[in-house]
Structure 1
Amino acid sequence: MASRAARLLPLLLLLGGCSGASILRPGGPISANNRTILLNSLVIMLAIIIPTMIATLAFAWWFRAGNDKARHRPEFVYSGRIELIVWSIPLLTILFLSGLIWIGSHDLDPARPIASKAPPLEVQVVSLDWKWLFVYPAQGIATLNQPVIPAGVPIRFRLTSASVMNSFFVPRLGSQIYTMNGMATTLHLQADRPGSYYGQSAHYSGDGFSDMNFRLQAVPAADFTRWVAGVKAAGGLLDGPAYAQLARQSQHEPAKHWGAVQPGLFDRVVAQHLPPAPGPEQGRDGQPQISPGTAE
């Protein structure tokens, strides 16, 4: 059994690298820099791991029982040179890693805008139980579980939660960020090219957590303009009462669109002028609150 598992391990690693959501296949500048930091950290750590492995084999070979040239010194206690080598290498490794992480954490600050000639597009995100609401304030539209963005344009996400804490993560575009009730966080991402990018909830939030994912569609700018026009033409108003109905717990919610959004809806959610949901644990009757007609 152990030998079979050992033979399957390389295949599993290869399959993991081929995943459509792999962070090793960046689709934007933030994820590309994240990958660079990851690979640089790997190289720095290998710089101490590989010599240590080689030295272990070399020492075992040199001090083997049959080597008469090896000196046996049972009285040996201390060597300043050896102590210097043993402690300086790990210290340098820690310094390099900490410097790399320090610089990267500032350069890739989620709230830091992406340098671009194109003005950023603001998308407001609300994590619900168990779905994602995307509001486009400049366009006056909203969509559920089906975000669309223009490729090559920086996106300024403003995020909050209408229930428990959650985490917004599009692996191929960049860093994840938490959504919290009564607070708004900011995340800047960009898709360099058109494509479909898997997004997910990266923080456990109850029964529907495993299916709380979406496909972010990056399209050419002209297609995005046409998509906005199509959503507006389809009609529908997302206001306070419609949002209250939407905020009820449900699973496997199909994609929806609203051609008009009440101004300031996102800020009302953040300020809790629109009451937050009760959370995934239980409702007034002590039972999980799932909207009627939704799939279990």
Structure 2
Amino acid sequence: MKLSRTPAPGFADPVGMLRACHERMRARLATLERLPAHLVRHGVDRAAQEAAQAVVAYFERAAPRHHADEEDDLFPALRACAGRPGWLPSLAGQLEALAAEHEVLEQGWETLRLDLHALAAGCAAALEAPTVTAWLAAYRRHMEREETEILPRVAALLSASELARIGAAMEARRLPEPAQPALPPGVAARHVTAPYTETDLPQALRLGHVTEAGVWVCITVEQGRVRYRLRSGTRPEWMLAAGDAGPVPPGHPYVVEPLGRARFRLTFYCAANGGCDAALNRALTTLAPSEA
């Protein structure tokens, strides 16, 4: 007899989607949990490389989207329910604590990602079992808290229309990213900024920095994750992880948003034959440190 499989939840069921994401996270965490012992026995073989690739792919792309589902959509919607029937006074503190845990978990990922990237490329790396074990335990506790303290309250607090808005936002977050602009041929790097972090982001990058004709800029992430978007046209946006770079063409205001703890630099490009010194200087002048 052929057993029927339960259909996977869709975006019309955002809570079901979040629970399904947790199950996928648990599967990747289990893969990571087995990896240190496998490396001791077998070294960096094909199985180790594929395991590291699977873990990296999930926690650098899918996991940040999941955190954004909660921090940008679900948690704010629940906070707005204060005073409704079904609201518990403890929920406000629980939501705040869980959002803070996301940042701690992302910082923990930063301690593992370089070794996992090396393993994914087939290179030896010292993946320390105690570090892995501590991060796994923290992630599992976090998911358990969400599933016992938060998700059971959703149906009692949020209306069908509110859930539909959350589901639509989750779906939009998973649409394919538009193609990034590309640096044109014949340009050369003219200036590289000192690193920026989430604590010293210039006001121009928060509100919309723009370069004049002939000056391109490229955002290069050194640590953490950064989202950047163009404020003109259809406002496409991209998420960059450590090691990624995102170009911005002249005349397009762009906004940079660090997602938690992050560090990035800007590299400014001009035509190799020069002629853009004044425009470059104006672009740099507008990046004076924020007073905020």
Per the normalisation by structure 1, the TM-score is 0.26
Q: Which structure is larger by alpha-carbon Rg, 1 or 2? A: 1
Q: Which has the higher strand share?
A: 1
